[in-house]
Amino acid sequence: MRMKRILTVVGARPQIIKAAAISRAIAAHFQGRLEEIILHTGQHYDANMSEVFFSELGIPAPAIQLHVGSGTHAVQTARMLEGIEQHLLDLAPDIVLLYGDTNSTLAGALAAAKLRIPVAHVEAGLRSRDRSMPEELNRIVCDHSSTWLFCPTGTAVRNLVQEGFPDHEDAQPTIDRPSVVLSGDVMYDNSLHFAQLAAQRSKVLEGLGLQPGSFVLATIHRDNNTDDAQRLERLVRSLLSIHADHGLPVVWPLHPRTRKRMDELLPADLMQRIEQGEGLKLIPPAGFLDMIALERNSRLVLTDSGGVQKEAFFFGKPVVVLRSTTEWVELLDHGWAVLVDADPGRIANAVQYYLAQEMGVAPALYGDGHAAERICAALAG
């Protein structure tokens, strides 16, 4: 069988983490059948948003770095398109492998599909039904440009079928006759794989002076939460109330976007309360092993992140979702997550409810921990 050349496009933090699962599977089981070249768009560039994950998770360094940096959606995507196209022409890969729903995903999909290079989309079929989210548009365009659609859940497969995709795999797929594969979730693969290592290596709890089970974990970075002063202020005040009402500190690894918007948009007295009080423990973006350790040892997670919602669940923690929709609807259906938007009353009620709740054993909603092998097997043909 001929070796296939895959060009993997990453750019934002969660994609680098997801790519780790596939790189690991290729190294362990598909040497000689799949060759992977990693292209980094440079969408995320701070060391703690990018570099740290390559070194911690053992991912090969990107062969290509486009350094596109930050910008408006159009500027950022256009720079990526131009750079990716040039490298596709030079490298002539058999497959372009894309993750998730960021602008890097969108650019990779458009550049490859227009050059008639087959696209494989990992995390296909997710829908929040909210097209005001840039991520929803990115998902839809990427799915409809793809030849392989790797779905983490049955819900994702059903979403695609509703949009006219077949509900089955195809051994010889094309963009017009794509293969829809229920692969399971590579993030679940990663959580299983790295949990032990995190337990051995992470010193984040000691560094923060925290005992397991004695804190709440929060992350916020969605543009509609960070860029709207009123919503951001309501969210921050809600997080401060958790300490006041329940005596639990809130550990909050700050995405650089959120850090910048807090400085710009929040009143000075609130910033002072945040920085001087005991309620919030603001930390820089965490490495993945520290993040897993925080998720695993928290009482409860509040987040607007897609990935953090699921990881909390993988570690048996309930999730208060600081959004009005989620693409991870199984978590709602099974009672592990609740949508509260940026509404202080709903946030307080959800926190109160989950802190009093015994969660029991998490059901298997995201596969069996071998999604990456399944994806590689389909691509190797």
Q: Which are the catalytic amino acids?
A: 221
Question: Minimal distance in Å, beta carbon 11 to ligand UD1?
Answer: 8
Per the CB < 8 A criterion, the answer to whether 34 and 379 are in contact is: yes
Chain-centroid distance, C-alpha 55:
18
Name which of 291 and 342 has its Cβ closer to ligand UDP. 291
Residue choice 131, 177, 203, 260 for contact with ligand UD1 (CB under 6 A): 260
The amino acid at 136: E
Binds 44, which of ligand UD1, ligand UDP, none (CB < 5 to 8 A, cut-off by type)? ligand UD1
- CA-nearest of 111, 123, 101 to 188 is 123
Can you give the three-state secondary structure of 27-67, one letter per residue? HHHCCCCEEEEEEECCCCCCHHHCHHHHHHHCCCCCCEECC
DSSP assignment string, 90-101: HH--SEEEEETT
The residue (of 13 and 24) whose beta carbon lies closer to ligand UD1 is 13
242 binds ligand UDP (CB under 6 A): no
**What is the token pair recorded at 196?**
């032990």
Burial class (CB in 10 A: 0-12, 13-18, 19+), 198: buried
Total site size for ligand UD1, rule CB under 6 A: 19
Strands 179-182 and 280-283 come out as unpaired
Sequence-distant (≥ 6) Cβ neighbours of residue 51 within 8 angstroms: none
Query: What span, in angstroms and rounded, lies between the C-alpha atoms of 13 and 257?
Result: 13
Binding map of ligand UDP across residues 293-332, x = CB under 6 A, - = no contact: ------------xxxx--x---------------------
Nearer to ligand UDP by C-beta: 115 or 195?
Answer: 195
**Binding to ligand UDP (CB under 6 A): which residues in 15-34?**
17
Strands 148-151 vs 4-10: parallel, antiparallel or unpaired: unpaired
Stretch binding ligand UDP (CB under 6 A), from 10-18, 112-120, 162-170, 207-215: 10-18
Per CB under 6 A, the list member of 219, 225, 226, 326 interacting with ligand UDP is 219
Q: How many residues appear in the chain? A: 381
C-beta of 55 vs 70, nearer to ligand UD1: 70
Interaction with ligand UD1 in 131-150: which residues (CB under 6 A)? 134-135
Handedness of CA 175, 90, 54, 285 (dihedral sign): negative
Binding mask 162-201 for ligand UDP (x = CB under 6 A): ----------------------------------------
Q: Is 152 in the site for ligand UDP (CB under 6 A)?
A: no
Instruction: Out of 127, 221, 231, 299, name the contact with ligand UD1 by CB under 6 A.
Output: 221
Instruction: Report the residue number, 251 or 376, with the smaller CB distance to ligand UDP.
Output: 251
Bridge partner list, 219 = 303
E strands present in 240-287: 250-253, 280-283
Q: Which is nearer to ligand UDP, 328 or 354 (CB)?
A: 328
Task: Point out which residues bind ligand UD1 (CB under 6 A).
Answer: 12-14, 43-46, 49, 70, 101-103, 134-135, 221, 255-257, 260
